[in-house]
Chain A
């Protein structure tokens, strides 16, 4: 027999002061102390502040210098993203033990659709309490949960429930609840949109509900008007879609003048391979397929790819494969406008790794060590000898000219981003 889908099946789980909470958990000396996580240097900003620190008016994204003036005795810690990622993975496992429909938004928050879990685990609100209790018991951390009919309302509720709380918004109470809120509570309404609405005296959800969608469109444009119209009525049809990892990562370079020198092209391939490989490592993925994209002077664009026996996140391997693809084209001096390197067919890299007999693991260690050095000392800290000419620090004008000389484009491709 099918159970009827509950009226409020969506949970939004949001960790409280996540980075700071992980730091306090891992160092008992920080219990009850204002903790700030972020860059301690002159221009660092607060990435996360414990609730003790928030009592002093400190908020995330605030310059660290200002935060320290507000609370001089706060403990400042540099972020440990590896630790946060690890906790995040544990969180995901916990969520997935409740329902397969988990959509992570970031390291510390996720939507859960528990509509199919009620027969096993009880009402959504009970599941929410259960998830919070388990997070506390198993991970030693606190989370706030919103329980609501849809994603927009669930996220709204978790925000209102903070810290360490849970808010259950019943379908029947949605209207009454929304009408009390400010337009700023509507998802997607930022400072500018709010200011535009404010000029017409529209400050609360009740205000915008009283206006037709056509009138709203004249103030904020069609797309935003449609969204405000729907959200102000508590309507949000977006499903909870389980996480899909990035399909691929690519970096490419458009030259301002056509390049025919094969050595220059190979150097460029090395630079792009470095970029792509670093992003693979940062994303904890490895690629099974690497591709070369090339646009000739006449705009003819080709791409060539090959699939590897063992996935890689190493620039050395990506470079070797793409160079072989480049050499196989037998360019013979043809002018090239654009060259790109892409890594796709991604698999999680952390899990299992085929070891290499011929000592390529040394490259792996080297590249990881370089990642660490770049994170600590900045991008220019380390580079390959072959790239030295281009990466050497340049004085203002020359650097600007060099940047001007080429335009860059790179990015992670997500499903639906329309890349390729």
Chain B
């Protein structure tokens, strides 16, 4: 294997492939990045057996072949390369890298040990989304998933495709985020995607822009960005039927400025005991005011009020400040509405369309919902 490439292009490709390098000591081959030259393209790939990444770049290829390079070492090398073209050549069990006057001889790992990466099958349901839209959807939903792997299904994000729309949902059983977006693949299919894979895909979408092609198959999902591809295995298990958790109707409805409420919650929750469980913030909602209080006898108290419009009877309701802030953070609109039944039932947070927005913008805010369970005070 022998090729020449632009330093920045090579470094960028290597760094992208490095993000899914495995750390498990039991399978050393997973700690490597596989380089393969075929025709005039160099492809790089890595996998930790849960997520795999693969990309290809155009290079000046002199000889086909492949090599497995220790991932961390490759990362350290490409980060430190001087600004000059890179030439690489395999010689025995070494990869010789020359860049300007710098030379490296990297010890290779046996490439036969590297697993074959999953491919997209012909039957996969494939849909295309704008990268920006995809990234925002993931950002809005994924945060509500659980980090507790004792309940594996909750560590994933549920994707449900049906004719014309894709619904992404995540819950850690204390809050639930649901977003529906237009979807151009017809087939009905579902997938439970590990949150980490979606976060990687979101980062790529943010970095690369343009479009993302999403292929959902029975045991894997693949996100393709031009010449780059992320494949993740799916989480097995039955996702909770979250639709039945979403209340129909409400008794009280509060409209409030999103940024202002977020700021107040952030300030007031400072008196919470961060080392134990977050002390709840209490919202005392009356017809035109939201008074937010927090604190305990041991640490201290805080309170602050802001204007808000309430339809319905006044209510006093407590929330974990982090869950509330998370919801406010991702409900992207100037104002939000909070719908309550009572102080022990889930509250629904939605973006509120501004009056002067056009219909498509209204539609966009209407398809996001964040349900949060209160704290019993």
15 contacts between A and B (CB under 8 A): A306-B150, A311-B276, A311-B277, A352-B375, A354-B277, A354-B373, A355-B374, A356-B173, A356-B373, A357-B171, A357-B175, A357-B373, A358-B240, A358-B245, A360-B173
Q: Encode B128-151 as 1/0 by CB contact (under 8 A) with A.
A: 000000000000000000111111
Hey, which chain A residues are within 8 Å of B172, CB to CB? 309
Residue A274 at the chain B interface, CB threshold 8 Å: no
Knowing A288-B276, A352-B318, say if A323 contacts B150 (CB, 8 Å): yes
B residues near A (Cβ < 8 Å) are 146-151, 171-176, 240, 245, 276-277, 279-280, 296, 318, 320, 344, 346, 371, 373-377
The 8 closest A-B pairs by CB, nearest first: A324-B150, A355-B373, A358-B173, A321-B150, A353-B376, A352-B375, A320-B150, A352-B280
- A360–B150 Cα gap in the complex (Å)? 15
CA distance A320 to B173 in the complex (A): 15
Q: A324-B149, A355-B376 are in contact. Are A345 and B280 (CB under 8 A)?
A: no
Given A323-B150, A356-B174, A357-B373, 11 further pairs, Cβ under 8 A? A288-B276, A310-B320, A351-B296, A352-B280, A354-B373, A355-B174, A355-B344, A357-B173, A357-B176, A358-B171, A360-B173
Q: Report the nearest B residue to A356, measured CB to CB.
A: B173
Q: Does A347 contact B (CB under 8 A)?
A: yes
Report Cα–Cα, A323/B173, bound state, in Å: 19
Known: A311-B277, A347-B276. A354 touches B148 (CB 8 A): no
Contacts between the two chains (Cβ within 8 Å), count: 63
Contact among A345, A353, A355, A357 for B276, CB-based, below 8 A: A345
- Give the shortest distance, in Å, between A315 (CB) and chain B (any CB): 14
Residues of B within 8 A of A309 (CB): 146-148, 172, 174
Q: Which residues of B contact A308 (CB under 8 A)?
A: 148
Instruction: Knowing A320-B150, A357-B245, A357-B346 are in contact, say whether A352-B377 is a contact too (CB < 8 A).
Output: yes
Central interface residue in A310, A345, A356, by most chain B CB within 10 Å: A310
Min distance, Cβ A386 to any Cβ of chain B, angstroms? 17
Q: Inside 8 A of A360's CB, which chain B residues have their CB?
A: 173
A283 to chain B, nearest CB (A): 16
CB proximity to B under 8 Å, residues A304-361? 306, 308-311, 320-321, 323-324, 345, 347, 351-358, 360
Contact check, A352 vs B279: say whether CB atoms are below 8 A apart. yes
Q: Are B277 and A355 in contact (CB under 8 A)?
A: no
Q: Are A288 and B171 in contact (CB under 8 A)?
A: no
- Nearest-Cβ distance from residue B91 to partner chain A, whole angstroms: 40
For A279-316 the 0/1 string (1 means CB < 8 A from B) is 00000000010000000000000000010111100000
Rounded to whole angstroms, the CA-CA distance of A356 and B346 in the bound complex is 9
Q: A355 to B245, alpha carbons, bound, how many Å?
A: 13
Main secondary structure of the interface of B (DSSP, over half): loop
Once bound together, how far apart are the Cα atoms of A139 and B296, in whole Å?
A: 23
Cα of A347 to Cα of B278 in the assembled complex, Å:
11
Across the interface, which residues of A come within 8 angstroms of B296, CB to CB? 351
A310 contacts B346, C-beta separation under 8 Å = no
Q: Are B176 and A354 in contact (CB under 8 A)?
A: no
Residue of A nearest to B147 (CB): A309
Give the residues in chain B near A355, CB-CB below 8 Å.
174, 344, 373-376
Please measure, in the bound complex, the distance between the C-alpha atom of A320 and the C-alpha atom of B377, giving whole angstroms.
26
A-to-B contact residues, CB < 8 Å: 288, 306, 308-311, 320-321, 323-324, 345, 347, 351-358, 360
Q: Output the least CB separation between A98 and chain B (Å).
A: 14
Bound complex: CA of A360 vs CA of B146, how far in Å? 15
Contact A352/B376 with A288-B276, A323-B150, A357-B245 known, Cβ cut-off 8 Å: yes
Alpha-carbon gap, A306 to B147, bound state (A): 11
Interface centre among A288, A308, A347, A354 (most CB of B within 10 A): A354
Closest to B373 in A: A355
Please report the C-alpha to C-alpha distance between residue A276 and residue B103 in the assembled complex, in whole angstroms.
Answer: 61
Give the docked Cα–Cα distance between A288 and B148 (Å): 13
Q: List residues of chain B with CB within 8 A of the CB of A347.
A: 276-277
Chain B residues lying within 8 Å of A351, measured Cβ to Cβ, are 296
- Residues of B within 8 Å of A288, CB to CB, are 276-277
* Cβ of A271 to closest chain B Cβ, rounded Å: 18
Contact: A354 with B151, CB < 8 Å?
no
A215 and B147 alpha carbons, distance in the complex (Å): 64
Task: Chain A residues near B175: list those with CB within 8 A.
Answer: 357
Cα–Cα, bound, A355→B345 (Å) = 9
Compute how far the CA of A345 lies from the CA of B374 in the bound complex, rounded to whole angstroms.
22
Closest to B240 in A: A358
Residues of B contacting A352 in the complex (Cβ-Cβ under 8 angstroms): 279-280, 318, 375-377
B148 to chain A minimum Cβ distance, whole angstroms, is 7
* CB nearest neighbor in B for A320: B150
**A residues less than 8 Å from B279 (CB atoms):** 352
Cβ of A321 to closest chain B Cβ, rounded Å: 5
Tell me the complex Cα distance, A351–B320, Å.
13
B320 touches A357 (CB 8 A): no
Shortest distance from the beta carbon of A346 to any chain B beta carbon, whole Å:
9
The chain A residue with its CB closest to the CB of B345 is A355
Chain A residue contacts of B174, Cβ below 8 A: 309-310, 354-357
Provide the residues of chain B in CB contact with A321, threshold 8 Å: 148, 150
Q: Which residues on the B side are within 8 Å of A357 (C-beta)?
A: 171, 173-176, 245, 346, 371, 373
Residues of the B chain whose Cβ atoms lie less than 8 Å from the Cβ of A306 = 148, 150
The residue of chain B having its C-beta at the shortest distance from the C-beta of A358 within the complex is B173
Note all chain B residues with C-beta closer than 8 A to A358.
171, 173, 240, 245
A288 CA / B276 CA spacing, docked (Å): 8
Task: Assess the B276–A354 pair: CB atoms within 8 A.
Answer: no
Closest B residue by C-beta to A355: B373
- Distance to closest chain B CB from A322 (angstroms): 9
Whole-angstrom distance between the Cβ of B336 and the nearest chain A Cβ? 20
Complex Cα distance, B371 from A345, in Å, reads: 28
Q: CA separation between A309 and B346, bound complex, in Å?
A: 18
A351 to B297, CA, bound (A): 12
A345 to B275 Cα, complex, angstroms: 9
Bound Cα distance from A326 to B175, whole angstroms: 28
Chain B residue with Cβ nearest A319: B150
Minimum distance in angstroms from A244 CB to a CB of chain B: 13
- Cα distance A355–B173 in the bound complex, in angstroms: 9
Min CB–CB distance B49 → chain A (angstroms): 15
Nearest CB of A to B344, in Å: 7
A355 to B176, CA, bound (A): 13
A310 to B277, CA, bound (A): 7
Q: Which residues of A contact B276 (CB under 8 A)?
A: 288, 311, 345, 347
Residue of B nearest to A360 (CB): B173
Q: How far is the CB of B319 from chain A (nearest CB, A)?
A: 9
How far is B172's CA from A358's CA once the two chains are assembled, in angstroms? 9
CA A353 – CA B174 in complex, angstroms? 11
Closest chain B CB from A393 CB (angstroms): 33
Give the distance in Å from the alpha carbon of A355 to the alpha carbon of B343 in the complex: 11
A347–B273 alpha-carbon span in the complex (Å) = 11
Q: How far is the CB of A255 from chain B (nearest CB, A)?
A: 25
